[in-house]
Structure 1
Amino acid sequence: MRIKIVTLLALSTAALWFTGCDQGRAQMGSRESNLLGIAKIEKDNYGPTTANTFAVHTDELYKRKNFSGDRVTLLWGLVTLKDY
């Protein structure tokens, strides 16, 4: 009976040890979301936009100091909202 309890305790401890938290080092999802091309959200994207889009910068709309670098593309690339 003791062997069963020790084995169960050892397996439980090993399961908790190997499935532990990684302190936030793993990336749980992609940096891009796409809703059928109608709305596309890209996080931390400081790349240039193409010439065939209406690019709107958030600093043109209102004054801000902490930019996130996100880019939202609407209507299959017709309008691009850039936060940088």
Structure 2
Amino acid sequence: MRIKILALLSLSLAALVFTGCDGGTAQMGPKEANLLGIATVEKESYQPAAVTTLAVSTDELYTRKNYSGDQVTLLWGLITLQDY
């Protein structure tokens, strides 16, 4: 009886772990990551920064040729770092 319960528990745990895992290669997956509003990362955003934020572009900090379009917002929108 204990072996059946342990086997069922192991199978259920394995199903939960391996369900829907694609390793981050989904084409329709989310392009945004949020850490409690302290830091928000948007991949390939290319959106203009809000008027109420201190916007800093990476080309103002150093020269680059290949921009990713990512936008990092810090401290609930107080500072926005743009890579475009």
TM-score of the aligned structures, taking structure 1 as reference length: 0.67
CA distance in 2, matches of 1:28, 1:52: 30
Partner of 1:79 in structure 2? Answer: 79
1:27 equivalenced with 2:12 (yes/no): no
Which has the greater radius of gyration? 1
Gaps of 5+ in 1: 1-24
1:28-52 Cα distance to aligned partner (Å, 9 max, x none): 6310000000000000001111110
Query: C-alpha separation between the residues in 1 aligned to 2:70 and 2:41?
Result: 7
Distance 2:42 2:26 in 1: 19
The residue number in structure 1 matching 2:7 is none
1:56 and 2:41 aligned: no
Structure 1: distance between partners of 2:64 and 2:39: 24
Match of 1:43 in 2: 43
Q: Percent identity?
A: 67
**Number of equivalent positions:** 60
- Identify unmatched segments of 5+ residues in structure 2: 1-24
> Quick one: distance in 2 between partners of 1:46 and 1:78?
18
Distance 2:56 2:45 in 1: 15
